[in-house]
């Protein structure tokens, strides 16, 4: 759970995803990239404790949903945020820049 008003790319959510955990986070930039609604977690409005509590309760009462979100979160962490995936993306960017016409 990450109730935040503002984030970059939150390391706590990346760590949760890498551990295969479903996430509840506020709907702010950064959190949206990791806690993807109906895929890896639940997003709630910032400064809405009732929505946050409802999201936590929804996950607490739904083991199958937790498992589905957790599996998808782990896959996201491996495919998009792992060091080798980041390295490939950076190398591809440099290659495109070097090959770009003047």
Instruction: Going residue by residue through the chain, which has 102 residues, state the pLDDT in tens, using 9 for 90 and above.
Output: 999 999 899 999 999 999 999 999 999 999 999 999 999 999 999 999 999 999 999 999 999 999 999 999 999 999 998 888 889 889 999 999 999 786
pLDDT at res. 86: 86
CATH class of 11-99: alpha beta
Residue 16 Ramachandran class (φ > 0 left, ψ -120 to 50 alpha, else beta): alpha
Find all residues with CB under 8 Å of 2, minimum gap 6, and list them.
Answer: 10, 12, 13, 23, 24, 25, 26, 31, 35
- In the chain the first and final C-alpha atoms are separated, in Å, by 47
φ/ψ (deg, to 5) at 66: -60, -45
Residue 85 DSSP one-character state: H
């Amino acid at each position: 759970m990450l109730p935040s008003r503002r984030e970059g790319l939150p390391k706590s959510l990346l760590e949760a995803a890498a551990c295969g955990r479903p996430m509840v986070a506020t709907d702010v930039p950064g959190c949206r990239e990791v806690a993807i609604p109906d895929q890896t977690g639940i997003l709630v409005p910032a400064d809405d404790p009732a929505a946050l509590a409802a999201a936590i309760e929804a996950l607490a009462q739904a083991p199958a949903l937790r498992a589905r979100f957790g599996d998808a979160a782990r896959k996201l962490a491996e495919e998009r945020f792992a060091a080798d995936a980041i390295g490939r993306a950076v190398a591809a960017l440099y290659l495109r820049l070097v090959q770009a016409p003047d």
